A and B are shown apart, each in its own frame.
Chain A
């Protein structure tokens, strides 16, 4: 089934940033509602910095970031409502898997019963039910990324940013994660932006594909978008 192309939900307009040894110049990007956008580029080109700008973790020198038509360029990351999965997972070392999955809901003072229900549902979807009491240092690479994904999705964000989430995984785990990511994105309807340097990963996942080339971002493919 093709996706309906509405107004861009994640939109980057003319974004510039100077970050010491490299800079982003006039970056433009649109991800329509419910689409899985993939931005492909080589290592060190600034993909992570762009993701950080959208998440609110880096401040651009100029340009605009819009989420659902709302200008968020100067808004704190905690008020953007973005689920963020960093490359290394960045799980909280002292929290168990269950506590990581319930973290965002606890911050939002969600009732305990609702948190337990959500954590169990996420654990079931992401095949983490047998790991709920483990600490991050006892998890494999694939398990860590599944926890990071679950933690980011727990508060039902409208937007999901994934920064090379499959980079450190072996082939088999990567394949499993690709299927899982696709399934989760379809079932939640979250609008995703996934950055990677892996062409196969990009082709498998992306509804809409951007390529980083010569310092600018170019739209290369739109699959099934009408």
Chain B
């Protein structure tokens, strides 16, 4: 089918469209400029390296910094924690969004609004609130008091000690914010699915669970993939809650976002830029995947 022809427009219409494009263009230029500047910084570092193009790549101080053991550790921990946080986000987002979309209960609007709290709260406050939460029972209660049947060696520990400033705190801090994003995406997805098919499934003999599994979930597949990828991307960029709740201990709770902070704080801009570029590529890959899964015909 040929593309729709444009509506004939006057000079004033054209000026209006041009003004809108110019304002939007400034922002797009800013985004492109930031990314290009990172790339230019790496190229500039390459130009300072003597020798041929192979040396310029292999001996580039920016790219070399990615091989440092602590950064390698951060890369692997980031991949693991972001994936774990995204899986947890989806596990929470699907049921909560479904309940909010398909059922009516007292305080429903308040619960709906509460899901937005992690999105609007300052990130440091999320981290601080998590830290404070783990000072209270049952998180602070020693296992010996909770489960007397456990071996004596476990008695002195507590859930708080196992989580705070440890790897689980990284995942929990990322999940605390990413879960809200995933819930919002899933709610939009369920809102767009007509309840009619589910109702028909009930008349055909399905229980609510069967209708959900056989009819709703297959329809929500795209939304779930988008929610997963967006939760993953959000976890990748999380920093504030991590700093407070998980700390920034090298080779322990350091993820890529904390690497940028740690390298900048010791004046190692090359390593910070290298890690930033790596995160740009990861985020871009996730965005492309989300677009591809989110639209019926693939990447628009």
Q: B194, B201, B205: which contacts A155 (Cβ < 8 A)?
A: B205
Whether A78 contacts B207 by the Cβ 8 Å rule is yes
Interface size class of B (residues with CB under 8 A): 10 to 19
Indicate whether B219 reaches chain A with its CB closer than 8 angstroms: yes
Assess A155 versus B219: contact at CB under 8 Å? Given A77-B199, A107-B210: no
Total number of A residues with any Cβ neighbor in B under 8 Å: 26
- Most A C-beta atoms less than 10 A away, residue of B203, B207, B219: B203
Residue of B whose beta carbon sits closest to that of A106: B214
List chain A residues, Cβ under 8 A from B221. Answer: 94
In angstroms, Cα B201 to Cα A86, docked, is 12
Residue of B whose beta carbon sits closest to that of A108: B205
Whether B203 contacts A92 by the Cβ 8 Å rule is no
Indicate whether A65 reaches chain B with its CB closer than 8 angstroms: no
Interface flags for B223-266 (1: CB within 8 Å of A; 0: not) read 00000000000000000000000000000000000000000000
Shortest C-beta distance, B37 to chain A (Å), equals 45
Whether B204 contacts A103 by the Cβ 8 Å rule is yes
Indicate whether A56 reaches chain B with its CB closer than 8 angstroms: yes
Whether A80 contacts B204 by the Cβ 8 Å rule is no
In angstroms, Cα B207 to Cα A206, docked, is 33
Interface flags for A88-118 (1: CB within 8 Å of B; 0: not) read 1011111100000001100110000000000
A165-183 contacts to B, CB under 8 A, are none
Whether A90 contacts B196 by the Cβ 8 Å rule is yes
Assess A84 versus B196: contact at CB under 8 Å? Given A94-B218, A107-B210, A155-B205: no
Interface flags for B193-216 (1: CB within 8 Å of A; 0: not) read 010110111111111001000110
Whether B203 contacts A84 by the Cβ 8 Å rule is yes
In angstroms, Cα B202 to Cα A198, docked, is 28
List chain B residues, Cβ under 8 A from A95. Answer: 218
Whether A92 contacts B202 by the Cβ 8 Å rule is no
Shortest C-beta distance, A51 to chain B (Å), equals 11
**Which residues of B are in contact with A by a Cβ distance under 8 Å?**
194, 196-197, 199-207, 210, 214-215, 218-219, 221
The contact sample of 26 A-B pairs, CB cut-off 8 A, is: A52-B199, A55-B203, A57-B199, A78-B203, A78-B206, A80-B203, A84-B200, A84-B203, A88-B196, A90-B196, A90-B197, A90-B200, A91-B197, A92-B214, A92-B215, A92-B218, A93-B197, A94-B218, A94-B221, A103-B201, A103-B214, A104-B204, A107-B205, A107-B206, A108-B205, A151-B200
For the complex of A and B, 9 pairs with smallest distance between CB atoms = A94-B218, A104-B204, A84-B203, A90-B196, A77-B202, A107-B205, A77-B203, A57-B199, A90-B200
